[in-house]
């Protein structure tokens, strides 16, 4: 624990400099297993720290050359930390994901199979194209509406939300497509209601699956909402 | 740079722990308050980008295959929506023109063939 000004503390760890050079870091974080290990450890520390009070997570591998440098750099950021703590105290982050089950039907079959007569095939072709486009559009609309509805309900319990690009099949599995990958900042009192609402939506008969996970330390809401992500700070 | 493999053929089997890892990664790697450390962090952005690309490019491709690419076309999510709807309309029109041309050429070919057979 590294003391900062105004009653803030930084949770830090000393590491051997030689193992945390630019090159070493690069290769370490490019290795899937080591990246996973680092991320899980980082997450475990952040989560454990949150048991004792509100925390502001910093990204993985925030490194300083010595404790004094860390103190100075972190103290410079106090206004941002204090603002974040105000925003995050008494609140947690909840993740909500919506999946659409894939049905077996094949898409993209050759539109111009010519069993019909030359006269009819032009019209039949157009009809097939139209039907296929319509089906495709209907499916997109259904997926969009289902995801939107879940988002609207979840947002009703939240003070802020972020939507991320949905995960690919290597994460979701081949038989389903993720249509919503969102996070919500929720007051502690609202959290059970959000979870109940999401479970109810998940049980409703539809093609959509709803997954809710949390409480997370509010990683996704640590930056002020109007701060452009990644802008400022880095490399200055 | 070492290649990261998040491809479906690699060792990652879908399951709760993997989903959980993805959730952790997308939070731990690019969320939280970013401050300038002494080791250049912008390096991490390169790695981050790699990971993101691996994770997300395939998601877009699969979604397209499944016919669900609305997050690219939804105006709320993308400014490319208008552009895309035009492109879509264009494609539809092209397909229709092609079909008509095919039909027309078939219609014009058949009388000629009949004439050749007669001679």
Q: Which residues of B are less than 8 Å from A39 in CB distance?
A: 21, 24-25, 28-29
Q: Which residues of A are less than 8 Å from B12 in CB distance?
A: 170-171
Q: What is the mean pLDDT of each run of 10 residues along chain A (236 residues)?
A: 89 89 78 80 91 88 87 91 93 93 53 54 87 83 86 96 80 80 95 94 81 92 64 28
pTM: 0.66
Strands A2-3 and A176-187, bridge-based pairing:
unpaired
Supply the pLDDT for residue B14: 34
Band (B85; pLDDT cuts 50, 70, 90)? low
ipTM given for this complex? 0.76
Note whether B84 and B73 are within 8 A (CB). Answer: yes
**Which has the higher per-residue pLDDT, A221 or B3?**
A221
Q: Cβ contacts of residue A98 below 8 Å, gap of 6+?
A: A146, A147, A150, A178, A179, A180, A208, A209, A210, A211
Band (B52; pLDDT cuts 50, 70, 90)? low
Q: What is the DSSP letter of A117?
A: -
Least CB–CB distance from A126: residue in B45, B99, B110? B99
- β-partners of residue A23 are none
* Residue A156: CB atoms within 10 Å: 12
Domain annotation for chain A: domains and CATH numbers: 2-88 (no CATH), 91-104+139-221 (3.30.70.2690)
- Chain A residue with the nearest C-alpha to that of B74: A144
The answer, yes or no, to whether residue B117 has pLDDT greater than 90, is: no
> Rounded CA gap, A105 and A29, in Å?
40
Nearest to B51 by CA among B11, B1, B15: B1
Note whether A125 and A111 are within 8 A (CB). Answer: yes
The predicted model gives B19-44 an average pLDDT of 68
Supply the pLDDT for residue A230: 36
Ranges of H-type helices in A51-189: 67-76, 78-88, 118-155, 169-172
- CB distance B51–A35 less than 8 Å? yes
- Chain B residue with the nearest C-alpha to that of A235: B36
Nearest to B58 by CA among B4, B15, B20: B4
Band (B16; pLDDT cuts 50, 70, 90)? very low
Q: How far is A202 from chain B (nearest CA, A)?
A: 17
Q: Which residues of B are less than 8 Å from A26 in CB distance?
A: 1, 43, 46-47
Supply the pLDDT for residue A203: 83
Q: Which residues of B are less than 8 Å from A32 in CB distance?
A: 4-6
Q: What is the DSSP letter of A221?
A: G
- CB distance A216–B27 less than 8 Å? yes
Mean pLDDT for chain B overall: 57
Supply the pLDDT for residue A228: 41
């Amino acid at each position: 624990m590294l003391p900062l000004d105004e009653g803030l503390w930084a949770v830090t760890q000393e590491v051997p400099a030689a193992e945390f050079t630019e090159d070493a870091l690069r290769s370490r974080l490019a290795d899937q297993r080591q990246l996973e290990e680092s991320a899980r450890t980082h997450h475990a520390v952040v989560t454990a720290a949150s048991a004792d009070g509100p925390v502001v997570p910093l990204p993985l591998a925030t490194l300083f050359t010595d404790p004094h440098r860390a103190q100075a750099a972190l103290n410079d950021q106090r206004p941002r930390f204090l603002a974040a703590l105000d925003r995050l105290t008494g609140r947690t982050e909840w993740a909500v994901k919506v999946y659409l089950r894939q049905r077996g039907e094949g898409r993209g079959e050759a539109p111009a199979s010519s069993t019909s007569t030359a006269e009819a095939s032009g019209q039949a072709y157009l009809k097939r194209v139209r039907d296929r486009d319509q089906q495709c559009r209907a499916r997109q609309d259904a997926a969009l509406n289902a995801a939107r509805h879940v988002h609207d309900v979840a947002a009703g319990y939240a003070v802020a939300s972020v939507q991320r690009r949905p995960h690919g099949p290597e994460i979701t599995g081949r038989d389903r497509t993720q249509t919503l990958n969102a996070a919500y900042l929720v007051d502690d009192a609202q959290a059970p209601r959000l979870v109940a609402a999401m479970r109810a939506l998940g049980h409703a008969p539809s093609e959509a699956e709803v997954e809710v996970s949390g409480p997370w330390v509010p990683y996704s809401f640590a930056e002020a909402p109007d701060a452009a992500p990644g802008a400022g700070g880095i490399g200055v | 740079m070492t290649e990261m493999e998040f491809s479906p053929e690699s060792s990652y089997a879908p399951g709760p722990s993997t989903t959980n890892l993805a959730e952790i990664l997308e939070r731990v790697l690019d969320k939280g308050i970013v401050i300038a450390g002494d080791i250049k962090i912008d390096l991490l952005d390169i790695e981050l980008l790699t990971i993101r690309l691996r994770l997300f490019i395939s998601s877009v491709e699969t979604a397209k295959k499944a016919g669900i690419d609305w997050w690219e076309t939804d105006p709320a999510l993308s400014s490319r929506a208008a552009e895309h709807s035009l492109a879509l309309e264009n494609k539809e029109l092209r397909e229709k023109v092609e079909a008509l041309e095919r039909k027309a050429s078939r219609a014009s070919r058949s009388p000629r063939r009949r004439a050749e057979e007669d001679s």
